[in-house]
Structure formats: C-alpha cells, structure tokens
Structure 1
C-alpha cells in the first residue's frame, strides 16, 4: 500500500544493479550486427565490445546454463532476473576453442567472480565479431531496464544496468 504512495524503494529486492561483466565499449543491442540480438528476439539488454578476454559475474546468483561450446553462459540473479552473456557473434562454430570456463552449472556466484576467460585475438580472427551481448532473457517480466554506463566500462567495477522487476 505504501509503495503506491511513496514510489519504489531503490534498495528493494525488486531492483537489481548489474555490474559490467567485461571491460570495453558499451554498444546498444540494436547496433549488434546479428538480428537475433538487434531485434531483441532473446530479450532486451546491452552489448560490450571487449578490450580484454575476461568475464566476471555481473550479479550475485546461480549459473543456470553453460553452453557446451563455452561461448555463452546463463545466470539467474537472486531476485529471478535471468541474464545471458554471449561472447562474440557466431562463436558457437569455434567449438569451445579459445574459451576457458571457471564455474559449473548450478554453482552459486557472487558479483565479480571469474566466470570465463577467452583469447580475444583468436575470437577477433575467427568469429564474425567479438561484441558481447548481455541479454535479460526474461525482460518481458521486468518493469524497466535502465542503462547506467557511459561509453566505456571496467569489468567488476562499473554499473551497467538497473533492472526493476
């Protein structure tokens, strides 16, 4: 009842701050050169053009999926927000080469935990792009997704998104 009068409490369990999982240049999802992401078929989000090959957990939560080809990882935050981090475009065809995974499905993670490392030069040479979409796969259940980042972000340090459930 009071929420209706005074608005949403930003410290609520319904508000999630997503920290940048990778360092690099922030790019609109609409500008990603792949229609699956740019047309938001998998959900809304943002992308980062990486400057290093290291993915950190953007939230506290649980690993719900690791693709066999190691190019993508799914995380469910404690409040139910589902995030997919997809390293590069058309990287599934690399069959896991150039990627190292440091977590397993079902594992609980804290914000900033190391999830994946990858050889950025190898990805740039062998994939369509190194741009890394971060997608909220259940974005249709969210009230709002607000970009917090400037043009460049540092993994594990800079807020990327605020999501209100």
Structure 2
C-alpha cells in the first residue's frame, strides 16, 4: 500500500495495438454470440493472416488458458485484455498452439505470446477469427476505436483508452 501512495503513478491512458496481422472486424460480426453480443466485454476482432500473436501492450500476463487458445493481459494502465484465438478452439485441447509466456510474466508491446497453426485451426475449429476484448470496461473513462481495415501486429493502433 505504501508504494501505491508514494511510488510511480500508473498511467491513465493506454494505446492498444494489434496482436495479429490480418483483417479488422467489428465484434458484432464475430460468428459467436458470446463475443458478438459483447457478453465478455467490448472490443474488436481480427481475421488473422498468420499465426503469430504478440503483446498489444506493455504489461503482465494474468492468465494463459491450459489449452493455449486464449490469453489474458493487464496493461501498465490497468486495462485488462483477453485475446481469444479462434472460435470454438478450446475443443482443440491445445493442438496447434504454442505458448511463449506464462501467467505472471512481464511483456513489452510486440513480444511474442503464442504461435498458432492457422491451417489446423481453420480445419478443426468454427473460425480463426480472433476477438480482442477489454474485460474490465467498467474501469474505463473512454474507449476510442481506430478505423483501420487491416492490422499489422505490434503497430496498428486498435484502441485509445483512458482509465477512470
């Protein structure tokens, strides 16, 4: 608690970049009602062009699902993100997924998080479309989306966020 009061102030603004190369989609167009109806939070989706997934922010890995199909991060400003690779990929039980991080690891924007065998995902899962969800939207003061059509991992800005 002492460090919280007198230590380094957390930033209130955060820029979130694309974790994958591909085509940016509205969350409402994701072929899964849990994501399309924003039941897990607001966000955006990317139809991936390759299988490399990188950190969209500087922060900490707060969860890596045992099946490696989804990863949770907390940014330096406190934005909590879920990157969910593909739709119904949990049923693949980790097949085709390789993780380069684990819960508790600190990451920098652009650090490699996962590699995914996209042809295998497209064969075995419902879709390769990857939602990027802000799971703690109630902690945000504002969320501004960028209007890009395609994403370059680690470079294309998806959101500008201000925390409360």
Flag whether TM exceeds 0.5 (same fold): yes
* Pairing partner for 1:142 from 119, 140, 152: 140
* Unpaired segments ≥5 residues, structure 1: 1-11
Aligned length: 154
Q: Root-mean-square deviation (CA), in Å?
A: 1.0
In 1, the alpha carbon distance for the partners of 2:78 and 2:139 equals: 10
Q: Distance in 2 between matches of 1:143 and 1:47?
A: 22
- Which of 72, 75, 84 does residue 86 from structure 1 map onto? 84
For residues 36-94 of structure 1, the C-alpha deviation after alignment (integer angstroms, 9 at most, x for no partner) is 10111111000000000010000000000000011000000011110000000000000
Q: Which runs of 5+ in 2 are unaligned?
A: 1-9
Q: Which residue of 2 aligns with 1:55?
A: 53
TM-score, normalization: structure 1? Answer: 0.91
CA distance in 2: counterparts of 1:78 and 1:63, whole angstroms: 11
- TM-score w.r.t. the length of structure 2 is 0.91
Work out the CA distance in 2 between the residues paired with 1:91 and 1:46: 18
SS at match of 2:86: coil
**How far apart, in 2, do the equivalents of 1:19 and 1:112 lie?**
9
Which residue number in structure 2 is paired with residue 111 of structure 1? Answer: 109
